[in-house]
Amino acid sequence: MKAAEEYPGLYEYANFELPQEELFLPGHGLCAGCTIGVIARHMLKVLGPDTIVVNPTGCAEVSTVVYPRTNWAVPWMHVAFGNGGSVASGIEAAIKVLKRRGVIDPNRKINVVVFAGDGGTADIGFQALSGMFERGHKVIYVMYDNEGYMNTGIQRSGTTPFGASATTAPAGRKVPGNVTHKKPMAAIAAAHGIPYVATANPAYVHDMVYKFKKAAEAEGPSFLHILQSCTPGWRFEPKYAIRVLELATETGYWVNYEIDHGEFRVTLPVPKRKPVKCFLELQGRFKHLKPEEVEAIQAVIDRDVEEINRIVGKEVIGPVDPSLPCITPRGAR
Ligand SMILES: Cc1ncc(C[n+]2csc(CCOP(=O)(O)OP(=O)(O)O)c2C)c(N)n1
């Protein structure tokens, strides 16, 4: 991993060592170009072996736990598609009781994590998640967002972006793919008043691991919304797995921020943005879009960026610079 000093001006933190030990083991069945593994691996490096993972049905589950094998070298539990938040609440409450009764050392720090997709979080798992927040369970909820129900065949979800073609929102002559905008899950989580909420992107590992650490240190529920590239769903060449995620951030499509006890902070400023077409062009799910539809998507991003800059009180995400090349050569910044 590169040292944080190699990203001058971009990172203020995450200068801690990650252990060599792997708790998310190699040999999984995730697609080439899928970044679920990058998220899970770094999550467990930060959280360590005293971690219980609750995993609702989805790509992560079906690709990493095929009986009798598992890639998780920590206690791991499969749960139904919709109840990750409830099961994790129960586990956290049980640990509290066992500590009180002296069965578990009261000083032992055990992390309870939900590792769930966007469908299992923003849609069907939403009430379980909201209840968990409301009751204040100390659970780290990690939503890996591949922007669709990918494991069951690329159906749209509440976080599928406008204009993406999905099997249940196909692009046709009259309809440009999905017609709704991404559900703002981090903002919805923050509205519950929980101590820590953040967005992250596995292309920026230092930023992501810092957020795992902050989530683990929170005194109540925490929510991490992490963008995740999906080769069959987004339709890009596997070699672009990280590129496409970088473009999400470089275009302002995805902004890395945290809301720490209500305080909003952009953790990865982007002084000059690339046009969103750079992000869209790399993916087959947007290839049907007409120039005016791309412009409409650009306008929504411009509006969102303006709103973020207004909240922060300065221009943390800069204007679009059309002279920037879509693909920056490796090593150049
Ligand atoms: C109540 C219920 N409805 C539907 C399903 C079928 N199902 C299993 S996983 C899944 C999609 C999961 O989507 P997401 O949570 O976004 O995870 P991904 O597959 O993208 O990793 C669906 C529809 C189910 N298991 N249970």
pLDDT digits (tens, 9 = 90+) for 39-53: 999 999 999 999 999
Q: Residues lining ligand 1, judged by CB closer than 6 Å?
A: 57-60, 81-82, 117-120, 124, 146, 148-152, 157
For residue 302 the two structure tokens come to 């411009």
The pLDDT tens digits for 281-327 are: 999 999 999 999 999 999 999 999 999 999 999 999 999 999 999 98
d(CA 110, CA 272): 41
Q: Does the CA dihedral 62-63-67-70 come out positive or negative?
A: negative
Q: Whose Cα sits closest to atom 3 in ligand 1?
A: 81
Confidence band, pLDDT 50/70/90 cuts, at residue 135: very high
Confidence band, pLDDT 50/70/90 cuts, at residue 3: very low
The values of phi and psi at residue 264, to 5°, are -90, 135
Atom number, ligand 1, closest to the C-alpha of residue 233: 20
Q: Does the CA dihedral 169-174-176-180 come out positive or negative?
A: negative
d(CA 74, CA 46): 13
Closest CA to 270 of 3, 6, 9: 9
pTM here is 0.95
Burial class (CB in 10 A: 0-12, 13-18, 19+), 304: middle
Instruction: Tell me the pairing of strands 51-56 and 111-117.
Output: parallel
Distance 143 CA to ligand 1 centre (A): 13
For range 241-262, the mean pLDDT: 97
20 has pLDDT over 70: yes
For range 201-217, the mean pLDDT: 94
User: How many C-beta atoms lie closer than 10 Å to residue 318's C-beta?
Assistant: 14
d(CA 174, CA 171): 8
Query: Which of 81, 124, 185 should be mutated for ligand 1, with most atoms under 8 A from CB?
Result: 81
Q: In the block, which residue shows the tokens 């982007």?
A: 270
Percent of residues, the chain, with pLDDT higher than 90: 92
d(CA 284, CA 100): 54
**What pLDDT score was predicted for residue 16?**
75
The values of phi and psi at residue 72, to 5°, are -100, 115
**What pLDDT score was predicted for residue 329?**
75
**What pLDDT score was predicted for residue 7?**
47
12: number of CA atoms within 13 Å, CB side? 6
Distance 265 CA to ligand 1 centre (A): 32
Distance 148 CA to ligand 1 centre (A): 9
280 has pLDDT over 80: yes
Distance 57 CA to ligand 1 centre (A): 6
Please provide the average confidence, as pLDDT, over all residues in the chain. Answer: 94
Closest CA to 142 of 88, 219, 66: 88
d(CA 42, CA 317): 26
Confidence band, pLDDT 50/70/90 cuts, at residue 211: very high
Q: Whose Cα sits closest to atom 5 in ligand 1?
A: 81
The values of phi and psi at residue 41, to 5°, are -65, -45
Q: Whose Cα sits closest to atom 24 in ligand 1?
A: 81
